[in-house]
Amino acid sequence: MRPRFVVGKVLGALSTLAFVVVVNFFLFRVVNDDPVESMFRGRNLSIEQKDRLRQQFNLDGTRFEQFAAYVRELLSGNLGVSLQSRRPVTTEIGEAIWPTIALVGTATTLSMIIGISIGIRAGWRRRSRFDVGSTTFSMFTYSVPDFWLAMLVLGLFSVQLGVFPTGGLQDAGTTATGISLLLDQLHHMALPCLVLAIAYLGEYAIVMRSSMLDTVREDYLQLARAKGLRDVDVRRRHAVPNAVLPVVSLSALNFGFVLSGAIAVESIFSWPGLGQATLQAIRGPDFPMLQGLFLLFSAAVIVANLAVDLLYGVLDPRVGGR
Amino acid sequence: MAGRDRVAVGAVVSGLVVAAFATMGLGSSVAASVDDEVVTLTVGVIQDLDTPNVTAGFLVSSYEVWNLQYATLTDKAAADFATEPSLAESWVEGDGGLSYTYTLREGLEWSDGEPLTADDVAFTINTSRDQAWANHSSITANLDATVIDDRTVKITSSVPDPKLPIMDVYIVPEHVWGPVAEGDVTTYEALDGVGSGAFTLREWKSGQSWTMDANPSYFKGEPAIDVIVFRVFTNADAMVAALQQGEIDFAHSVPSSSFEGLGDEAGIESVFGQQGGFSELAMNGMAGGIGDGHPALVDIDVRHAIHRAIDKQALFDRVILGLGSPGVTLSVSPDPVWQPEIPVEEQFTYDPAAANQLLDEAGYVDTDGNGIREMPDGSQELVFRYAERSESDIAAPVRELITGFLEAVGIGTTVDVYDDGQLTEVVGSGEYDLFVWGWTPFVDPDPMLSYFTCDQVTFDAEVIGYNDANWCSEEYDALYAAQNQELDRERRIEIVHEMLRLFYAESTYIVLFEDADLQAYRTDRFTGWTRQPAETGPVLFSNTSPTYFLLQPIDGGGGDDGGLGTGALIAIIVGVLVLVGGGAVVVMRSRSNRDERD
């Protein structure tokens, strides 16, 4: 891979990120320019107190003055202070990021493993009962809205059967530590994780099946069979490694969306992650939180894209060598 | 994939599923076994704290923390908001009502053991005034506090203040807040947990929960509850399910769709708590002289006709499902003593025929036969812009009904949807005709009354005032100034009643209905749930939240023996089924492998 290729990709990613910084800043202000009015309606504040709040929130200058201040702070690593909690945005995001990574990361991993396995088997035995059944199932999970599935699962397992908690990261106010706390958190994570895993796996299964169908017709597989290799070996050693490439890039890109991917499910299961933090910030609107969150979401996707680009450069010399 | 690999993958997946389902029983057992002797009240809420900092927060949930953590000099009775001793055991009037000298209880302590003295009171009042603290300065703006001795503090108002001797400002510890620099006060995290109230904040897990411990130094004695856990739900239906399952003891802000029938369930009592909150249809009175409000709305006959055209009973029945009360005039306090009785014959009751007659007589007739009336000079039709809040759950049914009512009397509407920030700007700029929004008043009527004075009208869109009726009356202002300094309570009530009758007669604000705070609690764990005010108010999240201190645990109520419950049994059954199923799949696939190999 040539250095010029790498530098080009990195510069491209950085310029996209800079674009995102600009858009994020102005986009939220187009929707609502004065959070003080909407956040403090009904509070017994004088006009002078509201002006004072605008000064505290750095909302008293022109938009471009505010933007310049934002960029200056951003370059020094400061994302600002949340208008609602008055805590640093980095602290707020730092607390919410791990529950999201745990939940969406686990669900994405599970759905990848299960979805790819289903896709391989379905594609290899086209039109078999397993293929028909699993394709129908995959199409269903791919198309079903995750919030609807979440409500169903919550209603069945929490309300009707009462075997899982109705939400949260752990029992509220628990003093448990160590393995007890871990079990408690697993108990709370099981349902949202199940919903997300089901919601995600259809895509993996469908893409993997499609890729397998393309690969199955390749001549080199006939050659492998002609050499006397067993069917499972043909599939494992020759078909899957070639068919799995599109799914690898899909997986890498999807991991970029892990941070932003579960607003509805987090909301239904009261999961204190980034999705919930986003909803809360939109209600303000809490500009610094929104800017910080969307910068993080965008950066994750951009970094994942960059990783895929560079990975392709490594895997396929024709790409990196040009 | 080789058979061996597939067995491995199958085992991993089965293991994960089994592990997840196995926690069904384990998690519950673990949770139930923790702190068995600690009496814990678990409160379900759908709103997290914004900040525990009393100088900066503004959400209802944060007020609940301050109500519990910071005692005030005087308290309000649970039954009727009557003034009661709190940190101050007595007070003496001076300077013709301009000053009061308060005597603190003996031996007051902060929860960290430091003595609570008159210095703390003076620090809170004077500093909050000087630094314009958000939740204090509306009370302390004109006050000055002087320490006489450790237990005596004199508070003087620079203007006659009818709210005195009530002093319901949260007294904060000087030894904690004093060292915080003025510029840092609003960003102080306030997780110190030092207070003088019945409970103090132990921890706050943003987006999850906050926990408060009983204060052993509380001047009324240690509460019967050891710990209160406020659990945050982002899904109100899940919160109701948690109440039904016994995961929580109390649910705040129950959705109206779940409220009906909830109180009939065994072990659950529902509460329909009114605190004076209401929704109104506001019209652009154009008092600010800016914007482009429809000229017809300046005509009081048109406003009266609109008032007559609206069926408030239908809105009450169909929008809030009867959970509240139909609106009459402005609600300025949760205390009903401030509400005037307006005789039915003086009310603008629903009467479309009368509305039509009013409009006909005022010259608003439909000359072109399109069903919409025109201005008397024929310059334009009576088509009003109706602004709707995108953030309101009831916006759609309210709009459907109101636009239908107006259409029935020959008034057309065009609907614009705004979020709250946009609507504030639209109203501030005067570029609207009608909108529906709401307010929740404080106990003292002064703030709500002040919003409709002439100096709160927006004359410059850059400086938006509170008066979103865009209406101004010298008579109202004079009455406002009179009540604002009237020290005779009975006389003040009369003045307020007069103001509200005047406001009602002007009809720039049509109060559609008074809504309620829907709550529910379990009756099998605690007794002592107390409404504030009695009979009509909520039990928690009321003005001063007296219930927490009054709750007593029921012996054995709601306890968990830690044994295998239904959940654990089902968990085991499902786990076994999954294991058996997983095993069968593995066996079948191994057999299939053998077939392939053969």
Cβ within 8 Å, pair A172-B42: yes
DSSP 8-state secondary structure symbol assigned to residue B97: G
How close A91 gets to chain B, by Cα (Å)? 10
* Assigned token pair, B535: 């009979």
Cβ within 8 Å, pair A38-B424: yes
On whether the CB atoms of residues B313 and B350 are closer than 8 A, the answer is yes
How close B491 gets to chain A, by Cα (Å)? 24
Is B560 a residue whose pLDDT tops 50?
Answer: no
Average pLDDT over residues B104-124: 96
Angle (CA) B500-B319-B251 rounded to 5° is 95
Amino acid, res. B351: D
- The residues, any chain, with a CB within 8 Å of residue A187's CB and separated by 6 or more, are A164, A165, B23, B24, B26, B27, B28
Query: Which has the closest alpha carbon to B373: B395, B358, B388?
Result: B358
pLDDT at residue number A219: 86
Residue B566's pLDDT band, with cuts at 50, 70 and 90, is very low
* Assigned token pair, B25: 């029983």
Is B29 a residue whose pLDDT tops 50?
Answer: no
Is B28 a residue whose pLDDT tops 50?
Answer: no
| Residues B46, A267: Cα–Cα separation, whole Å | 11
Average pLDDT over residues B130-143: 83
Cβ within 8 Å, pair A171-B570: no
Cβ within 8 Å, pair B235-A38: no
On whether the CB atoms of residues B364 and B382 are closer than 8 A, the answer is yes
- Chain B residues touching residue A280 (CB < 8 angstroms): 48, 207
Q: Look at residue A33 and give its three-state secondary structure.
A: coil
pLDDT at residue number A321: 56
- Tell me the pairing of strands B209-214 and B199-205: antiparallel
Residue B4's pLDDT band, with cuts at 50, 70 and 90, is very low
Is A227 a residue whose pLDDT tops 70?
Answer: yes
How high is the mean pLDDT of chain B?
85
Cβ within 8 Å, pair B24-A190: yes
Residue A72's pLDDT band, with cuts at 50, 70 and 90, is confident
User: If residue B518 lies in a helix (H) or strand (E), which one and from where to where?
Assistant: strand B517-522
pLDDT at residue number B577: 53
* Assigned token pair, B27: 């998690």
Is B133 a residue whose pLDDT tops 50?
Answer: yes
How close B422 gets to chain A, by Cα (Å)? 6
Is A164 a residue whose pLDDT tops 50?
Answer: yes
Average pLDDT over residues B132-158: 90
Could you report the per-residue pLDDT of B431-446, keeping only the tens digit for each?
Answer: 999 999 988 888 889 8
Cβ within 8 Å, pair B421-A188: no
Is B346 a residue whose pLDDT tops 70?
Answer: yes
Cβ within 8 Å, pair A183-B30: yes
| Residues A285, B191: Cα–Cα separation, whole Å | 24
Is B35 a residue whose pLDDT tops 50?
Answer: no
Percent of chain B with pLDDT over 70: 87
pLDDT at residue number A271: 92
How high is the mean pLDDT of chain A?
85
Which of the two residues, B273 and A285, has the higher pLDDT score? Answer: B273
Residue A80's pLDDT band, with cuts at 50, 70 and 90, is confident
Question: Please, what sign has the CA dihedral across residues B40, B45, B49, B55?
Answer: negative
Is A99 a residue whose pLDDT tops 50?
Answer: yes
Q: Calculate the CA A87 to chain-centre distance.
A: 24
| Residues B548, A72: Cα–Cα separation, whole Å | 48
Residue-wise DSSP of B367-396? SSSSS--B-TTSSSB-EEEEEEETT-TTHH
* Assigned token pair, B598: 């053969």
- Chain B residues touching residue A95 (CB < 8 angstroms): 205-207
Say how many C-beta atoms besides its own lie within 10 A of residue B107's C-beta.
Answer: 10
pLDDT at residue number A189: 93
pLDDT at residue number B557: 59
| Residues B119, B137: Cα–Cα separation, whole Å | 18
On whether the CB atoms of residues B24 and A187 are closer than 8 A, the answer is yes
Nearest residue of B to residue A46, measured between CA atoms: B138
- Whole-number Cα distances in Å, B299 to B187, B304, B428: 48, 9, 21
| Least confident piece of the model among A182-186, B17-21, B260-264, B398-402 | B17-21
Residue A8's pLDDT band, with cuts at 50, 70 and 90, is confident
Average pLDDT over residues A231-242: 84
Could you report the per-residue pLDDT of B515-559, keeping only the tens digit for each?
Answer: 888 999 999 999 999 999 888 899 999 989 999 999 999 976 544
Amino acid, res. B197: G
* Assigned token pair, B435: 């909108």
Percent of chain B with pLDDT over 90: 55
Is B86 a residue whose pLDDT tops 90?
Answer: yes
Say how many C-beta atoms besides its own lie within 10 A of residue B154's C-beta.
Answer: 19
* Burial of B417 from C-beta contacts in 10 A (0-12 / 13-18 / 19+): middle
ipTM metric:
0.76
| Residues B550, B218: Cα–Cα separation, whole Å | 13
Question: Within a 13 Å sphere around the CA of B166, how many CA atoms are in the beta-carbon half?
Answer: 15
B566 touches chain A (CB under 8 A): yes
Which of the two residues, B505 and A178, has the higher pLDDT score? Answer: B505
- The residues, any chain, with a CB within 8 Å of residue B487's CB and separated by 6 or more, are B97, B160, B162
pLDDT at residue number B294: 94
